[in-house]
Structure 1
């Protein structure tokens, strides 16, 4: 098949910092542009906090709770379909992933010990990676799959100082010149001024990242294969910035600031343009979409949405981490925490009103919490046995809180 694909993955980027997802104070013109040309998934829910697990989902279509082996990985399938497959990353965990062996070409940019902010954008880590990607794109003459993974906000926060200062009001604290991603946990509230420094610094990183998205979009548009090139932008997990007592992934608790990530797709020939979906999407769906590009007719929820085909709506998304599980439905979000032999502790939040999960209601909706725990058990067992396609629809009380 003649379709090419560019996949740009930026680690530790929650959807809430992007304009297409409702952010009004960080300018993300390139992401806005991409969203205007494609399909935006409002509820892309990561299935794990572990990078290796999310990549297994990307490259096999298996959920993080499904430990079975896949017959063939995405890069292997793309290679057999005649695409040149290239992996470009600055993250050793991705380059050394067992499934990365399926790429015909792997490029790992060496990590640098960053101790000072960049003075120019092109000195930042993500810009260096983007420049390498632009060079790869310029060399392509035949259909290809280029998978770009940036360490993003899990790497050095090295945006030039002016990009941090751009968000600072006169009375706000100076954001500082630190480059190491902050990691801290508090039992009480964070000092607002301290937190603001981190938020402004993070926003500066997002601004630089958005410029890199724009450069990749421009490069893809200049190719003769432009109309036949799929472009996907996503992240495997977000970065806590004071929500639920954490700055940074101290414990990788399964809350929305970690699980809610962007997924914006520009499909070949303009399919799905100007479409927003509120269906629950997970990392394995990106695999299925790319497989459907390689083998027309292959099942893909995202392709069904883009082409407005009749399909059963997705009413459940689940995630797993060490000692934790979570389930998201259109109406609820439940987090379950297990510590040793203690009885699991659950937290319940109403969706979509409680976007940031601040109003815990398990004690007031105990029956719903029990039903969600049972649904989570059912999902996990189905995943373990590779039977997620056979899951029955949820009860109305779990998919619609007003019933």
Structure 2
């Protein structure tokens, strides 16, 4: 048995024709859709990038306990379980967060890995003097300005090189069996950087200052720049899709559709002016961010090109791949999995695997959907208390906890505080935890997420008009209490959310 996970970062499902989009060219993702079950009710879990990957690789939801961080020593990862049972795993990736402080222990769990350099703040091109800043709006980061000097043609960009790495691995192992290939392209994550000729098909006539990297938060650029950045995102998605086609060509050539599971998904979406916001992290977890694409090809399945409406989440990747390889989670896993295998849905044995999907960022709103309604539950108190972060490895994106500047060490306790493991962890007061990256810091208690909001997905999918429906809200609250219990939530989350 073989399996390939194709993970593209920040893919908006509303830009994919398989989900009804028009005007954006993704013919190769369409090819995947033709051979796969298309999941219509698939949701993120922990946000953003690395929390989502921890969910996928451990089968457990993490955002109730901590923010961005490494694979913990008490975690059991999918590559680790596969290795223990004689199944080889390899990752080809340009997602440089794996190799920054706060991204430890992910790639190292695979048998082998290949890291493609150059994305975002990857410390790749080395020069003592910073480059001169050009006329530009949006983010400008000198390290990326250096990195992009190495991008001359499409083939030089790191996501195309990542797909080429995966193709080389497949060619070297075309006669092998019993493996997982994890192919991970950072694009279309920002910066939306690509050869300018790629914008031709999107009729881009923008002539303002260079703009390829949005700032997180409320829209702060003119309308022509906003239209331009949307076209850059679409063009980058199209360019990446073209290289996805080369991976699918290899599967065609080697007859892999007959014996290989293929999972295509993303970690989260991305706002491009919707709700007057850009990007993610600081605003409510709107559908554009958290309702994400999923397509799954299973050899012999009769679901090719058909749609599955059951609620699913990224935590389901782990148990699905385990079952594909014939492994029983009850005997192979020391930790309880929160995810559920998709294979019963694909075999027609079940129409549902859960009654709700819960998702969000550490310390912010906890969000839940039952498919019909979506409910954002905010902290009861203005100071967002009580909230604690639990970790055995106190690193997060770009820095360490335990220094005076980030977390007062006198406020850190240690002990077996988690319900699901006896491993001693640090208990860090979450009231002064920040996610700090690049030029911006995001405190967990953002000004934009301080109210409970209820939406009807069918009548207001764009989430423009929150509703007042006491009966529906009461039912969503009970679903949320149940979900918190099922996901081993720390007790203070119930207090913080007013759910005692």
Counterparts in 2 of 1:256-295, with a 5 A limit?
Answer: 256-270=287-301, 272-295=303-326
Are the counterparts in 1 of residues 58 and 76 from structure 2 also a CA contact under 8 Å?
Answer: yes
Q: 270-279 or 232-241: which moved more?
A: 270-279
Aligned to 2:383: 340
Alignment partner for residue 218 of structure 1, among 249, 252, 271? Answer: 249
- What is the CA deviation profile of residues 293-332 of structure 1, one whole-angstrom value per residue up to 9, with x for unaligned ones? 1116769541111111135453311112132211111211
1:194 paired with 2:253, answer: no
Alignment partner for residue 308 of structure 1, among 342, 348, 352? Answer: 348
1:74 paired with 2:78, answer: yes
Aligned to 1:240: 271
1:129 paired with 2:162, answer: yes
- What is the CA deviation profile of residues 68-107 of structure 1, one whole-angstrom value per residue up to 9, with x for unaligned ones? 9877421122223332211221123335443443211122
- TM-score, length of structure 1 as denominator length: 0.85
Partner Cα distance (1:379, 1:320) in 2 = 13
Residues matched between the structures, number = 378
| Aligned-residue offset at 1:380 | 1.2
Q: Helix, strand or coil for the counterpart of 1:149? A: strand
- TM-score, length of structure 2 as denominator length: 0.69
Aligned to 1:83: 87
| Aligned-residue offset at 1:29 | 0.7
Are the counterparts in 1 of residues 217 and 283 from structure 2 also a CA contact under 8 Å?
Answer: no
Can you give the 5+ residue segments of structure 2 that lack an aligned partner in the other structure? Answer: 66-71, 119-123, 125-143, 330-338, 386-448, 491-500
Q: Comparing both structures, which one devotes a greater share of its residues to helix?
A: 1
Partner Cα distance (2:195, 2:150) in 1 = 6
Counterparts in 2 of 1:317-336, with a 5 A limit?
Answer: 317-321=357-361, 322-336=363-377
Alignment partner for residue 192 of structure 2, among 135, 145, 157? Answer: 157
Aligned to 1:55: 53
Q: Helix, strand or coil for the counterpart of 2:480? A: helix
Return closer, same or farther for 1:168/1:224 CA change in 2, 3 Å cut-off. Answer: closer
Partner Cα distance (1:117, 1:162) in 2 = 17
State the superposition RMSD in angstroms. 2.8
Are the counterparts in 1 of residues 368 and 476 from structure 2 also a CA contact under 8 Å?
Answer: yes
Return closer, same or farther for 1:130/1:288 CA change in 2, 3 Å cut-off. Answer: same
Partner Cα distance (1:65, 1:184) in 2 = 20
Are the counterparts in 1 of residues 211 and 225 from structure 2 also a CA contact under 8 Å?
Answer: no
Can you give the 5+ residue segments of structure 1 that lack an aligned partner in the other structure? Answer: 387-403
Alignment partner for residue 93 of structure 1, among 94, 97, 103? Answer: 97
Q: Helix, strand or coil for the counterpart of 2:285? A: coil
Partner Cα distance (1:216, 1:98) in 2 = 27
Partner Cα distance (2:313, 2:344) in 1 = 15
Return closer, same or farther for 1:178/1:190 CA change in 2, 3 Å cut-off. Answer: closer
Return closer, same or farther for 1:252/1:360 CA change in 2, 3 Å cut-off. Answer: closer
Q: Helix, strand or coil for the counterpart of 2:56? A: helix
Partner Cα distance (1:154, 1:225) in 2 = 29
Are the counterparts in 1 of residues 322 and 328 from structure 2 also a CA contact under 8 Å?
Answer: no
Alignment partner for residue 168 of structure 1, among 187, 196, 203? Answer: 203
Q: 150-159 or 328-337: which moved more?
A: 150-159
Are the counterparts in 2 of residues 6 and 229 from structure 1 also a CA contact under 8 Å?
Answer: yes
Partner Cα distance (1:348, 1:117) in 2 = 47
Partner Cα distance (1:385, 1:336) in 2 = 15
Are the counterparts in 2 of residues 65 and 380 from structure 1 also a CA contact under 8 Å?
Answer: no
Q: Helix, strand or coil for the counterpart of 1:378? A: helix
Q: 325-334 or 78-87: which moved more?
A: 78-87
Aligned to 1:384: 488
Partner Cα distance (1:70, 1:217) in 2 = 36
Partner Cα distance (1:311, 1:43) in 2 = 12
Partner Cα distance (1:117, 1:176) in 2 = 22
Partner Cα distance (1:300, 1:262) in 2 = 17
Are the counterparts in 1 of residues 311 and 356 from structure 2 also a CA contact under 8 Å?
Answer: yes
Partner Cα distance (2:73, 2:303) in 1 = 32
Partner Cα distance (2:280, 2:18) in 1 = 25
Are the counterparts in 1 of residues 98 and 106 from structure 2 also a CA contact under 8 Å?
Answer: no
Q: 37-46 or 307-316: which moved more?
A: 307-316
Partner Cα distance (2:373, 2:59) in 1 = 25
Partner Cα distance (2:91, 2:239) in 1 = 22
Alignment partner for residue 358 of structure 1, among 455, 460, 464? Answer: 464
Partner Cα distance (1:83, 1:382) in 2 = 30
Are the counterparts in 1 of residues 377 and 452 from structure 2 also a CA contact under 8 Å?
Answer: yes
